[in-house]
């Protein structure tokens, strides 16, 4: 992880306008990254899409890297909820591995991620 990715802005208070804005940015960032890839995910593109200023968006993440890391963490959480947690309910061994693999295949073929 780069130093820039570690220096993300402080998390806003739960339920605050800042948190709602950050969540909207992350949702759109993940949808966009699903379509065009993380390399194409820029603060400028998001600011334009969301009708925000670059500085307003920058205040939530502090860097492109921090934004990308936050979007990846969001995708990770969605995958854990959709694939890993259900597979862990299967009996240990081959059945669990099969459940994990089937869950991953279903994840890849479904529009679980926004935009994908």
| The total number of structural domains that make up the chain | 1
- Cα–Cα dist 20/10, whole Å: 14
* Domain contains 105: yes
* Domain contains 55: yes
* Domain contains 114: no
Q: CATH number of the domain that 26 lies in?
A: 1.10.357.10
Owning domain of residue 35: 3-109
How far is residue 48 from each of residues 14, 53, 63, 100, measured CA to CA in Å? 26, 8, 16, 38
* Domain contains 42: yes
* Domain contains 18: yes
pLDDT along the chain (116 residues), means of 10: 47 76 91 87 90 90 89 92 96 97 90 62
* Domain contains 103: yes
- The pLDDT, as a whole number, for residue 58 is 86
* Domain contains 74: yes
């Amino acid at each position: 992880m780069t130093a820039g990715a570690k220096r993300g802005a402080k998390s806003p208070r739960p339920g605050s306008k800042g948190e709602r804005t950050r969540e909207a940015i992350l949702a759109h960032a993940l949808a966009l990254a699903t379509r065009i890839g993380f390399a194409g995910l820029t603060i400028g593109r998001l600011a334009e899409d969301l009708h925000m200023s670059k500085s307003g968006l920058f205040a939530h993440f502090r860097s492109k890297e921090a934004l990308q890391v936050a979007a990846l963490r969001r995708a990770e959480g969605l995958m854990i909820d959709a694939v890993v947690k259900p597979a862990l309910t299967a009996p240990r061994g081959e059945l669990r591995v099969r459940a994990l693999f089937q869950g991953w295949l279903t994840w890849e073929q479904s529009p679980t991620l926004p935009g994908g």
